[in-house]
Amino acid sequence: MAHCPECEALIDLDNDEVAEGELVSCPECSVDLEVISTNPVELRLAEDEELEEDEDDEDEEDLLDEDDEDDDDDE
């Protein structure tokens, strides 16, 4: 059992039915929810990648030359 963080509806989820990271939808408001914990089941609003908000800070001092050319050999 978990509560929808959006509309507070009780969502009937057993902790052995869901896995952490799984996406479910609220039956009440149909929002997408992500399971962040299974014992107890906790849900949070799933982030919609398409609605990603760009934080455009006006004082963005991004003048550093990031030279990240390390040889990272991760196989």
Based on the shown chain and the rule CB under 5 A, indicate whether residue 29 belongs to the binding site for Zn ion.
yes
Q: 57-61 long-range CB contacts below 8 Å, 24 or more apart?
A: none
**Least Å distance between CB 4 and Zn ion?**
3
According to DSSP, the residues that pair with 37 across neighbouring strands are: 42
Q: Which of 1, 28, 37, 45: binder of Zn ion (CB under 5 A)?
A: 28
In angstroms, give the least distance from the CB of 19 to Zn ion: 20
Number of Cβ within 10 Å of residue 70's Cβ equals 6
Contact call for residue 46 and Zn ion (CB under 5 A): no
d(CA 45, CA 31): 7
For residue 25, which phi and psi values (nearest 5 degrees)? -115, 145
- Choosing from 4, 13, 18, 35, the residue that interacts with Zn ion (CB under 5 A) is 4
* Contact footprint for Zn ion (CB under 5 A): 4, 6-7, 9, 26, 28-29
